[in-house]
Structure 1
Amino acid sequence: MTSASPEHYPVNLHKAYHAHIYFDEQSVQHVTGLCEHIATEFGLKVGRIHQKLVGPHRRWSVQILFSHRDFEAFIPWLDAERGDLDVLVHGVTGDEYKDHTDHAYWLGQPVELDLSIFEKPR
């Protein structure tokens, strides 16, 4: 298991966040268990467990919605429990391009995103 390095660890700077957990056929059971725990223990909104590509994500993923109030408890727990899963954590500011670039942090290895779907700032 790899943890985020201190210089790349998520920082609580925004009011709202998404965490996108990436998985594959071998890890779908692991991510399903994580999502059940996140919903029941943290009370966070868990999106669909997409076994297809959705949005800018080039791997299967599930989205978790949370706020700055949940950040300090949820992020360290997620980092400890994710195993080998890679997770994108980003602020939700209304600028989707910046949210997925400037406001993005990774737990695990960065996953290439299809940023062409977002309007790039001028």
Structure 2
Amino acid sequence: MAPSSPRTPLRSSDDIRYYHAHLYYGDTEGLAKAEALAGACAKRFDVRVGRFHERPVGPHPMWSCQLSFSPETFADIVPWLAMNRGDLDVFVHLGTDDDLFDHTQGVIWLGESHPLNLSVFASD
């Protein structure tokens, strides 16, 4: 295996400051399911529940809600979401403060994957 170049430093799990799980839904029925899932998750785990968007926001192509949690709780929360998400799709990504990397290389999909709007990360 070739060593990494100076332009692409090796990354470490120590670089992960947080995780986000975005619950994807596309209508009011899905919104109700997302609210119930987020509420159950917040009762069980130390997560911060964000706003429930009824339009695409940022790179997310669907209505969504963001759950924020620490790396230390990943092993408990993500399997729980996988088992309890019902028919909601969940986009999980790490947070290293490199948004493009976090949303393209550090991702896990629970359910179906959806193309993201990566143009929001384009530099001027």
Q: TM-score, normalised by structure 2?
A: 0.81
Show CA shifts across 1:3-53 (max 9, x none).
xxxxxxxxxx43411111101222111111111112222131010011111
Match of 2:103 in 1: 100
- Aligned AA (1:18): H
Percent of aligned positions that are identical: 42
Q: Quick one: distance in 1 between partners of 2:117 and 2:95?
A: 18
Q: Does 1:72 align with 2:79?
A: no
Aligned 8 A contact 2:20 2:66 in 1: yes
Task: Flag as ranges the 4+ runs of structure 1 deviating above 4 A.
Answer: none
* Structure 2 segments unaligned to the other structure (5+ residues): 1-12
Match of 2:52 in 1: 49
- Aligned AA (1:17): Y
- Could you tell me how far 1:119 is from its partner in structure 2? 3.4
Aligned 8 A contact 2:49 2:68 in 1: yes
Aligned 8 A contact 1:18 1:89 in 2: yes
Aligned residues between the structures: 108
Q: Let me know the Cα RMSD of the aligned residues.
A: 1.3
Q: Quick one: distance in 2 between partners of 1:55 and 1:38?
A: 23
Aligned 8 A contact 1:38 1:46 in 2: no
Secondary structure (helix, strand or coil) at the match of 1:27 reads helix
The structure number with the bigger radius of gyration is 2
Q: TM-score, normalised by structure 1?
A: 0.83
- Aligned AA (1:46): V
